[in-house]
Amino acid sequence: MKEKLLFFLFILSIKFYGQINYNKSYFIDNNGNKIECFIKDRDKKDNPTDFEYKLSTEEFQTMKADIKNVKEFKVGEFLKYERATVKVDTSLVNLNSLNEKKDPQWKEVTVFLEVLVDSKVSLYEYKIGNIKRFFYKTESGTIEQLIHKKYTVYDETGSRLVSNNDFQKQLWENVNCGNKSIDDLLKLKYGQKDLTKYFTDYNICKNNEIVAFEKKSESGSINFKVNVGISSASLSISNHVTNVTSDFEKKTNFTVGAEIEWVLPVNRNKWALYLAPSYNSYKSPGMGISYNRGPFSSDTIIENWNASLSYIDVAFGVRYYIFISDNSRIFIAGSYINSSMLSSDIHQDQGVYKVEAKIRNRLGGSIGYSYKNKFNLELKYSGANIFDNYVYWDSNYSTTSLTFGYTIFDSKKKK
């Protein structure tokens, strides 16, 4: 039953993923028609040349559009691309591949440029492989690359790395509101953060309207959570030599724990690593059957057993979040669980058998829901052999727990 429930929830998460991975979007074709649709979030760093979309999330079939027939498209509220034919510097950027030429090596291409600042004077970014270039558009409508090129200079002292920072001159001459000094320009770095701030400041200075994008949070964060819940566990044991088996009753107990989660600064914060210690216990009577026992060693005897366990689990895991909305996420997770036994008492009432449990390190899985990164509900499952220290004894100990978690610290909200 537990496995069926987890399987059902896993299938449900896949269904959610198939719908959630398509964001409410639009694209504009070559004829200027704006098509409202749902575009698949690629989660890739390189600028695309095409994209998949649906006219409705209920549709099973997807369609594809490419750079030949699309002038512009926007994915959700966080990504916008515009088609442009531009000259791109194709100079290699690896330190071992730099040449001695100061000037860019231009190549005219038609690409989708990602819009970073959308205004009368706009900033764009183009990424492919390890090449990253920034472009800008003035009120004239012309799009040009901001020039930044590293190259090697050789002299009597040897070789040294030099940068062509003509982008600073371009901005001073063409994107200058008069509120920046030449020193400010010389300190400006050729990166998304510095350039986005510069173009935003410029448009604010000019009273130009800026179309805002939702921030694609990539900074990562640390969360600390406390967890409480209930755990349903079952146990069966057997001895292959003496032909003894015992099935214990399924019992429900409380579980309590904590968790430290590191939301990774990649893939729009969809991946996280976590460390989660928890206290667990199990206490139950059991009904045992001994085969080939009795005066003639041929009888089957019913015996009473009792089991009592308490232990600490420490789960090291990876979690993947699937966003439903700004406040809601579902997630799936897998973990490697290390257990430390605090107390163990498994015995047959007549005193013939008494064994000590030692839980083997094992794998676990879970699925859950998070609201506002504050309230969390998680269904977990794991199974283990608790007789890792015996040769002839075997067991099947499985637990299914439903825990409620509360985030008491979120480093992102502290910033």
**Model confidence pLDDT, tens digit, residues 208-239:** 999 877 665 567 889 999 999 999 999 998 88
pLDDT at 1: 47
Distance CA 242, CA 245 (A): 9
Average pLDDT in the 2-22 region?
Answer: 53
pLDDT at 296: 52
221-414: what fold?
Answer: Porin (2.40.160)
Length reported for the chain: 415
pLDDT at 301 over 80: no
Whole-Å CA distances, 131 to 93, 149, 150: 7, 11, 12
Q: DSSP string spanning 280-304?
A: EEEEEEEEEEEEEETTTT-EEEEEE
Confidence of residue 46 (pLDDT cuts 50, 70, 90): confident
Distance CA 177, CA 248 (A): 78
pLDDT at 8 over 60: no
pLDDT at 19 over 70: no
Average pLDDT in the 152-172 region?
Answer: 88
DSSP label at 16?
H
pLDDT at 312: 95
pLDDT at 385: 87
pLDDT at 120: 94
pLDDT at 297: 52
* Both tokens assigned to 2: 């537990």
Amino acid identity, residue 77? Answer: E
Average pLDDT in the 79-84 region?
Answer: 95
pLDDT at 212: 73
Average pLDDT in the 136-154 region?
Answer: 92
Q: What is the pTM of this model?
A: 0.62
pLDDT at 15 over 90: no
289 vs 117, more confident: 117
Whole-Å CA distances, 313 to 223, 269, 390: 19, 27, 21
Average pLDDT in the 158-170 region?
Answer: 90
pLDDT at 62: 87
Structural domain boundaries in the chain:
2-205, 221-414
Nearest by Cα to 378 from 414, 402, 350, 406:
402
pLDDT at 253 over 60: yes
pLDDT tens digits for 391-402? Answer: 888 889 999 999
Share of the chain above pLDDT 90, in %: 53
In degrees rounded to 5, what are phi and psi of residue 381?
-140, 140
Q: Which residues of 221-237 are buried (b: 16+ CB within 10 A; e: fewer)?
A: bebebebebebbbbbeb
pLDDT at 293: 55
pLDDT tens digits for 83-135? Answer: 999 999 998 877 777 888 889 999 999 999 999 999 999 999 999 888 899 99
- Going by C-beta distance under 8 Å and a sequence separation of 6 or more, which residues neighbour residue 333? 274, 317, 318, 319, 320, 365, 366, 367, 368, 378
Q: DSSP string spanning 163-224?
A: EE-HHHHHHHHHS--S-S-HHHHHH--SSHHHHHHHHHHHHHHTT---B-------S-EEEE
Q: Is 111 buried (19+), middle (13-18) or exposed (0-12) by CB count in 10 A? A: buried
Nearest by Cα to 409 from 169, 222, 175:
222
pLDDT at 67 over 70: yes
Distance CA 187, CA 299 (A): 90
pLDDT tens digits for 341-398? Answer: 999 988 888 777 888 888 878 899 999 999 988 999 999 999 888 887 788 888 899 9
